[in-house]
Amino acid sequence: MASSLAIAILAAGKGTRMRSSLPKVLHRLSGRTLVENVIASTALVNPTRKIAIVGYAADQVKETLATIPDLEFALQAEQLGTGHAVQQVMPVLEGFKGNLLVLNGDVPLLKPETIEQMLNTHNENGNAATILTAQMADPTGYGRVFCDDNLIVTEIVEHRDCTEAQRANTRINAGIYCFNWDALMTILPHLKADNDQQEYYLTDVIKDLSPVMAMDAPTSEIAGINNRKQLAEAEAVMQKRIKDELLLSGVTLINPESITIDATVTVEPDVVIEPQTNLRGTTIISAGCHIGPGSLIENSKIGPHTKAVHSVISDSEVAENGRIGPFAHIRGKASVGNDCRIGNFVEVKKSTIGNGTNAAHLSYLGDAELGEKVNVGAGTITVNYDGKNKHKTVVGDRTKTGANSCLVAPIIIAEDVTIGAGSVITKDVDADCLVFTRSPQKSIPGWKPKYLREA
Ligand code: UD1
Ligand code: CA
């Protein structure tokens, strides 16, 4: 029988060794908080309830994690141990039937397949509890798991509470458990803090439950994050996983070690990513794109067959066949249409750029709406800010702005307009006009006084 599953994530600790004002579980790994990484590891087991146990900086943790769908919170006001933490879930899960998966908020590298296998082991054997274990060459600091040849567990003893002989056991407790909720409820409320740390240990329930089974997992998956060195090591593991998966799915990564890609990014097949490129957040790179070298793309959607070289694109969209860069900056909900060129030292902010429009050199386009096939002359600037408010610039289809022209917003320039180079345009312009503001050119022959002439 498939029983319902709740997950509880231990996230109440401060994480002193991170030496950070940010609570440990909010530190980021490949673009997601540690907690989000932990939740991602349950992707194959469909939990019906998700509860984060928070304590240290609880308000900050809750606020940051508020966007995670269906996440509930249990407050552990004082951190009196892992058993005490899980006790705080009892009122939240009142009347619950099924299994409780307890996960550690600082163990972010677990694979969904491992969790699925653990749940299967638990259900197939009708276990009261199943615990994830690993064989560690150096088990110092971990709880030791004692079991027979069939992996039936008798007890878990914390490193500090172990005898010398018990410390020789290299099978460690990863801190990930699946409990039959009803069975756990018979023991959990009665924990005692009679150990070296005088904490309520979750591990103490094990000796009173039966059967409890251990399942060994790869040590690379159960690595915990206690300091920033371990965070950096975990980042390397996660990045390798993300990039290996992309490579096998048909994405070319040139010198992958120099590329970083968040776990939240989608890259379609037949994309080429060149060195020193960073893809972050909710970014989607469509098929046939060529990104990099040296580009940063954040929370943006890049349409098929677009090229972006040495450019920064954030919170924006570029449609098909874009030619972006070198050294372009597209940001702030900008939307660039099909077949556009946004070239050297062009900044586009919160603007809509129509299909086939080009801004090839040295421009600022802010709060603008450009039509189709507009040619933005080199050095064209939308003068959008009066010192207090931002104003809009509208440019019609096929209009050509002269080099070094300033379009002083708010302004509407209709279609098929040609703007003379160096103009400062302050009034709306009708369709089909040539418009310029320019002082007449003067030539003064023989202007040099005698003392400036060569002898
Ligand atoms: C725990 C296990 C140990 C295991 C190890 C694996 C116990 C008693 N020991 O030890 O067997 O080998 O994890 O990493 O469970 N937390 C709370 N509230 C508390 C205490 C802790 O939320 O009151 C959270 C911490 O923030 C952390 C997690 O629980 O995310 C584990 O706590 P920690 O103190 O690091 O446990 P360990 O001593 O490492
Ligand atoms: Ca501890």
Note if the bond before 23 is cis, omega within 30 degrees: no
Q: Which ligand is nearest to the CA of 195?
A: 1
Structure tokens at 320: 């098909």
Sequential DSSP letters for 294-316: S-EEES-EE-TT-EE-S-EEES-
If phi over 0 gives left and psi between -120 and 50 gives alpha, with beta otherwise, what is residue 332? Answer: left
Q: Which residue(s) pair with 53 in the sheet?
A: 10, 74
Task: Classify 97 as helix, strand or coil.
Answer: coil
Report the separation in Å between the CA atom of 191 and the middle of ligand 1, taken as the mean of its atom positions: 16
Statement: residue 1 has pLDDT above 90: no
Report the separation in Å between the CA atom of 121 and the middle of ligand 1, taken as the mean of its atom positions: 24
- Phi/psi for 285 (5° steps) reads -110, 115
**Integer Rg of the chain from CA:** 31
CB atoms within 10 A of CB 316: 24
Cβ-based neighbours of 194, under 8 Å, separated by 6 or more: none
In angstroms, the CA 285 to CA 319 distance is 11
pLDDT tens digit sequence for 256-304: 999 999 999 999 999 999 999 999 999 999 999 999 999 999 999 999 9
Task: Classify 306 as helix, strand or coil.
Answer: coil
Q: What is the mean pLDDT of the chain?
A: 97
In angstroms, the CA 24 to CA 26 distance is 5
pLDDT tens digit sequence for 146-185: 999 999 999 999 999 999 999 999 999 999 999 999 999 9
pLDDT tens digit sequence for 353-403: 999 999 999 999 999 999 999 999 999 999 999 999 999 999 999 999 999
**Which pLDDT does position 314 carry in this prediction?**
98
Q: Which residues line ligand 1 (CB under 6 A)?
A: 10, 12-13, 53, 76, 79-82, 84-85, 104-106, 142-143, 156, 158, 172-175, 201-203, 224
For ligand 1, pick from 7, 82, 109 the residue to mutate: most ligand atoms within 8 Å of CB.
Answer: 82
Structure tokens at 330: 């597209």
Report the separation in Å between the CA atom of 29 and the middle of ligand 1, taken as the mean of its atom positions: 20
Task: Classify 1 as helix, strand or coil.
Answer: coil
pLDDT tens digit sequence for 28-41: 999 999 999 999 99
Nearest-CA residue for ligand 1 atom 29 is 10
- Give which of 219, 218, 223, 267 is closest to 243, Cα–Cα: 267
Active site residue 361: yes
Task: List for the chain the helix, strand, coil content (%; round to 5).
Answer: 20, 30, 50
